[in-house]
């Protein structure tokens, strides 16, 4: 019997489900699962959750508490289905506030612990702004693991590794989107995909420089991008693309391997250097700002939903 691409991928890369859909997680049996405001909103719109959400909304002191309680409840349910990490995101509203990000991260961990889920199972997702990265530095020092998300540029990747982040989530598909919008006729297939090239560059640099930070490619537009990154530490994949990988057969070859030729890591970036590098990287600068706005747009929708349910 032919082996699916998904089964082959699992032999060389840790597969992570990018969803809050419990049925999809049961079906594909990933090692970890990631959530974000958009995925929490999708999960919250399921009719079966409405009564419980209404109860949470009514019992919460304010909308911020209600949003966090919903995220942790869904995360706790996911933790019962995966053996590894569950990623839960700090509000994108706090992307430029180091101290508030740290405080919210501690609050999320405490909520998980009250639900019986230990801190070692949780990755706190934080946007890869300068403030978010410095918050992650402090959290990691105090035993809270972090997932630095909305990562589009090499400067972000370097700063995250220097901060000791447990994991980074470089976005592949959104980088492709940016380039396709500017060069609609260009061939970006396979290894020509600029998002794939970005993750490969980061992966090679981390391995050669000896960083322990996990590289987890994210935000895929097609399974070709996933195939081109086979061998990456982790890949977080939507249920739609997991299904495509599960349905297709053929030979999947490993594309990324650890570089045994060590290099000296670049000098750590200070704040001014980081901001300059981001300013020079038009794509990364554009997509980071857009990503924060999009996550907040979905959080606003979730807040509106919870507000309506609280009055039921």
What is the residue extent of each domain of the chain?
5-310
Using DSSP's 3-state secondary structure scheme, residue 234 falls into: strand
Tokens 């901060």 belong to: 163
Q: What are the pLDDT digits (tens) for 277-288?
A: 999 999 999 999
- Output the pLDDT for position 258: 85
pTM comes to 0.96
Give the list of residues 6+ apart from residue 181 with CB closer than 8 angstroms, or none: none
- In 3D space, the residue among 145, 150, 133, 149 whose CA is nearest the CA of residue 97 turns out to be 133
Q: Are 146 and 167 in contact (CB under 8 A)?
A: yes
Does residue 207 carry a catalytic annotation? no
Distance CA 115, CA 76 (A): 7
> Which residues are bridge partners to 228 per DSSP?
none
Angle between helices 194-209 and 173-182 (to 10 degrees): 130
Phi, psi of 33 (to 5 degrees): -145, 145
Task: Indicate which residue of 10, 125, 200, 287 is catalytic.
Answer: 125
Confidence of residue 255 (pLDDT cuts 50, 70, 90): very high
Provide mean pLDDT across the span 161-178: 98
- Output the pLDDT for position 206: 96
- In 3D space, the residue among 266, 146, 152, 254 whose CA is nearest the CA of residue 206 turns out to be 266
Q: Are 128 and 113 in contact (CB under 8 A)?
A: no
Q: What are the pLDDT digits (tens) for 35-58?
A: 998 999 999 888 889 899 999 999
Its CATH class, for the domain covering 5-310, is alpha beta
């Amino acid at each position: 019997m032919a082996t699916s691409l998904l089964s082959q991928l699992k032999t060389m890369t840790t597969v992570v489900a990018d969803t809050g859909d419990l049925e999809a997680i049961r079906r594909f049996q990933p090692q970890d699962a990631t959530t974000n405001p958009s995925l929490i909103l999708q999960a919250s719109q399921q009719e079966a959750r409405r009564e419980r959400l209404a109860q949470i909304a009514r019992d919460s002191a304010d909308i911020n508490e209600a949003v966090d309680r919903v995220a942790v409840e869904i995360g706790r349910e996911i933790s019962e289905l995966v053996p590894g990490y569950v990623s839960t995101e700090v509000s994108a509203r706090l992307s430029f506030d180091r101290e508030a990000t740290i405080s919210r991260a501690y609050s999320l961990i405490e909520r998980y612990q009250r639900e019986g889920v230990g801190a070692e199972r949780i990755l706190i997702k934080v946007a890869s702004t300068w403030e978010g990265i410095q918050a992650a530095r402090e959290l990691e020092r105090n035993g809270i693991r972090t997932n630095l998300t909305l990562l589009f540029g090499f400067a972000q990747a370097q700063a995250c590794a220097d901060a000791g982040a447990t994991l980074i989530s470089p976005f592949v598909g959104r980088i492709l989107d940016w380039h396709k919008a500017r060069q609609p006729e260009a061939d970006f297939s396979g290894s020509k995909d600029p998002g794939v090239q970005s993750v490969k560059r980061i992966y090679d640099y981390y391995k050669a420089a000896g960083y322990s930070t996990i590289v987890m490619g994210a935000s895929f537009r097609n399974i070709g991008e996933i195939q081109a990154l086979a061998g990456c530490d982790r890949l977080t994949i939507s249920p739609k693309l997991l299904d495509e990988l599960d349905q297709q057969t053929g030979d999947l070859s490993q594309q990324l391997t650890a570089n045994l030729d060590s290099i000296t890591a670049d000098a750590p970036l200070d704040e001014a250097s980081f901001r300059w590098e981001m300013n020079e990287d038009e794509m990364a600068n554009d997509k980071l700002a857009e990503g924060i706005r999009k996550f907040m747009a979905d959080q606003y929708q979730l807040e509106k939903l919870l507000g309506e349910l609280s009055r039921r």
